[in-house]
C-alpha cells in the first residue's frame, strides 16, 4: 500500500500501533516554531501547559518539530498575542481567549463568561457539542486555528482589602478582573481593570486596585496576594470553568503535513488534560496553607450573586441584538448549558453534596 494512502486510512493511532511512526516522522521536515504565552514563567501550572505541549510535540516527532516557548512580555506584550499570531509574527500563542473581548465579545465564549459552563461541560461543548466548530468559524476572521489549551477548573473569587458583605461594598470598588467578567462587575457598580498576571501584585500592593482575582490557591499563593489583601472570596461566578487555548497561525498550520497536524492536535489534548490535573492536585494543600497563615475565606453574599446573574443575562441578550457573531455562538452555548445543568443537578451535584459533608 502506498504510504500516504496508508496514513490516511489507518490514522495516527493505527500507525503507532503498527510501529510505522518512526518512518513517517523521519520523512517530515525539521520545523522550528515560536509560541508566545500570555503568562509569566514562574506559574508552572498555567504557563507550564505550553511547556508540556512543546515537549510532547518534540517527543512524538523525534525532535524534528521544535516549538520555543516565550513567556508573556518576552516577544510581545502578554495581551498582544492574538495580533502576533494573526499577523504571523509568531506561529503560535497560548492564552485565555476572553482577554480579547474588546476585539469582539465572542472571544469570551471560547474561554469563560459569567455563569457559564464548568470545566467538564466546557470540554463537552467543545469536543462533542458545536463549540469547536463554531469557534473555529469565528477565528477564521483572525487567521487563527484554535485548540484546547487547558482549564483551571472553577476559580476562586479573588482577594479583597475588606470583606464583601453586600452590594454596597461593590459600589466603586476597583478590581483587577480578567476578561468578560469585568463587563458584569461594571453593571453592578464595580470598576474593572484588565491587567496581566505579572502586574497584579504591585497594583494590589500600591492600592491601584482594591481587589484582584487570578486563578486559585496554588497560583495565588505563588504570586503572594495574601500578603497584600487578607480576604479571599469564592466562588468566581465569572469563571466556572475557563478554557485556555493554543492559537495557531492558519498559514503555518496549513503548511504542516497531515502527520504533523495530527501530532499537534494530540499534544494539545495532553496539555489540556495535564493543566487541570495539576490544579486539582495542588490547590487543596495551598488553600490549607493560606488559611493557616491568616487568610480569611468568605462566600459572596446572595444579593451580589443574584445581581450579577441578572445583569449577566441582560448583557447577553443585549449582545445578541448587536453582535451577530455573539448571537450565533451564544445561542448554541446557552442551549448546551441548559441541558448540562439539568444533568449535573442530579448526578454530579447530588454526589458532591453528600461527599463534601462527610468526615473522611
Asked if residue 181 is part of any domain, the answer here is: yes
Domain that holds residue 172: 158-240+283-323
- pLDDT for the residue 63: 98
- CA gap 113, 110 in Å, rounded: 9
User: Between 131-139 and 119-127, two packed helices, what is the crossing angle to 10 degrees?
Assistant: 70
Asked if residue 335 is part of any domain, the answer here is: no
Name beta bridge partners: 159.
Answer: 212, 232
Mean pLDDT value of segment 273-291 = 98
- pLDDT for the residue 194: 83
C-alpha cell read off for 255: 503548511
Q: Which residue is associated with the grid cell 495516527?
A: 12
Residues above pLDDT 90, as percent of the chain: 89
Residues above pLDDT 70, as percent of the chain: 92
Q: Do 50 and 164 belong together in one domain?
A: no
For residue 235, whether the previous peptide bond is cis, meaning omega lies within 30 degrees of 0, is: yes
Q: Which secondary structure element, helix H or strand E, spans residue 263, and what is its range?
A: helix 258-292
Mean pLDDT value of segment 149-166 = 97
Asked if residue 344 is part of any domain, the answer here is: no
Mean pLDDT value of segment 321-342 = 98
* Cα dist from 169 to 165, 208, 221, 295, 347, whole Å: 7, 17, 25, 19, 36
Measured CA angle at 335 (ends 332, 337), to 5 deg: 105
- pLDDT for the residue 341: 96
Asked if residue 355 is part of any domain, the answer here is: no
- pLDDT for the residue 276: 97
Q: Do 44 and 116 belong together in one domain?
A: yes
Q: Round the average pLDDT of the chain to a whole number and report it.
A: 93
* Contact status, residue 41 vs residue 54, Cβ threshold 8 Å: no
Instruction: Spell out the residues 6+ positions from residue 236 whose beta carbon is closer than 8 angstroms to its own.
Output: 154, 155, 156, 157, 158, 181, 213
* Contact status, residue 92 vs residue 99, Cβ threshold 8 Å: no
Express each pLDDT in 241-250 by its tens digit. Answer: 999 999 999 9
Asked if residue 356 is part of any domain, the answer here is: no
Q: Do 181 and 268 belong together in one domain?
A: no
- CA gap 183, 113 in Å, rounded: 10
Is the per-residue pLDDT at 19 higher than 70? no
Q: Do 9 and 130 belong together in one domain?
A: yes
The residue among 134, 183, 184 whose CA lies nearest residue 325 is: 134
Domain boundary (259, 280, 301) is at: 280
Q: How many domains does the chain have?
A: 2
- pLDDT for the residue 53: 98
Mean pLDDT value of segment 218-233 = 96
- CA gap 233, 176 in Å, rounded: 14
Is the per-residue pLDDT at 119 higher than 60? yes
Is the per-residue pLDDT at 164 higher than 90? yes
Mean pLDDT value of segment 285-292 = 98
CATH number for position 191: 3.40.190.10
* Contact status, residue 97 vs residue 110, Cβ threshold 8 Å: yes
Q: Do 147 and 97 belong together in one domain?
A: yes
The helix/strand/coil state of 58 is helix
Amino acid at each position: 500500500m502506498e504510504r500516504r494512502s496508508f496514513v490516511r486510512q489507518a490514522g495516527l493511532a493505527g500507525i503507532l500501533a503498527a510501529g510505522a511512526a518512526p518512518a513517517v516522522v523521519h520523512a517530515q521536515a525539521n520545523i522550528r516554531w515560536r509560541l508566545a504565552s500570555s503568562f509569566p514563567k514562574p506559574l508552572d501550572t498555567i504557563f507550564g501547559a505550553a511547556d508540556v505541549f512543546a515537549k510532547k510535540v518534540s517527543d512524538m516527532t523525534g525532535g524534528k518539530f521544535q516549538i520555543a516557548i516565550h513567556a508573556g512580555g518576552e516577544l510581545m506584550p502578554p495581551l498582544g498575542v492574538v495580533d502576533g499570531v494573526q499577523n504571523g509574527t509568531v506561529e503560535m500563542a497560548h492564552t485565555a481567549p476572553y482577554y480579547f473581548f474588546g476585539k469582539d465579545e465572542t472571544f469570551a465564549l471560547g474561554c469563560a463568561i459569567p455563569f457559564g459552563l464548568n470545566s467538564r461541560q466546557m470540554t463537552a461543548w467543545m469536543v462533542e457539542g458545536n463549540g469547536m466548530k463554531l469557534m473555529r468559524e469565528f477565528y477564521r476572521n483572525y487567521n487563527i486555528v484554535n485548540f484546547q489549551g487547558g482549564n483551571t477548573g472553577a476559580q476562586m473569587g479573588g482577594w479583597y482589602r475588606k470583606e464583601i458583605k453586600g452590594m454596597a461594598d461593590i459600589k466603586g470598588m476597583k478590581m483587577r478582573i480578567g476578561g468578560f467578567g469585568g463587563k458584569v462587575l461594571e453593571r453592578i457598580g464595580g470598576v474593572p481593570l484588565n491587567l496581566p498576571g505579572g502586574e497584579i501584585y504591585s497594583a494590589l500592593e500600591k492600592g491601584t486596585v482594591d481587589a484582584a482575582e487570578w486563578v486559585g490557591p496554588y497560583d495565588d499563593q505563588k504570586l503572594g496576594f495574601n500578603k497584600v489583601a487578607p480576604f479571599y472570596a469564592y466562588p468566581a461566578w465569572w469563571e466556572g470553568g475557563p478554557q485556555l487555548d493554543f492559537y495557531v497561525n492558519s498559514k503555518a498550520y496549513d503548511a504542516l503535513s497531515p502527520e504533523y497536524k495530527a501530532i499537534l492536535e494530540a499534544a494539545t489534548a495532553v496539555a489540556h488534560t495535564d493543566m487541570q490535573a495539576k490544579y486539582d492536585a495542588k490547590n487543596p494543600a495551598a488553600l490549607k496553607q493560606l488559611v493557616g497563615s491568616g487568610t480569611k475565606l468568605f462566600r459572596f453574599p446572595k444579593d451580589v450573586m443574584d445581581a450579577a446573574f441578572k445583569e449577566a443575562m441582560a448583557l447577553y441578550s443585549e449582545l445578541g441584538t448587536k453582535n451577530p457573531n455573539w448571537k450565533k455562538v451564544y445561542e448554541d452555548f446557552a442551549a448546551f448549558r441548559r441541558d448540562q445543568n439539568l444533568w449535573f443537578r442530579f448526578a454530579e451535584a447530588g454526589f458532591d453534596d453528600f461527599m463534601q459533608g462527610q468526615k473522611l
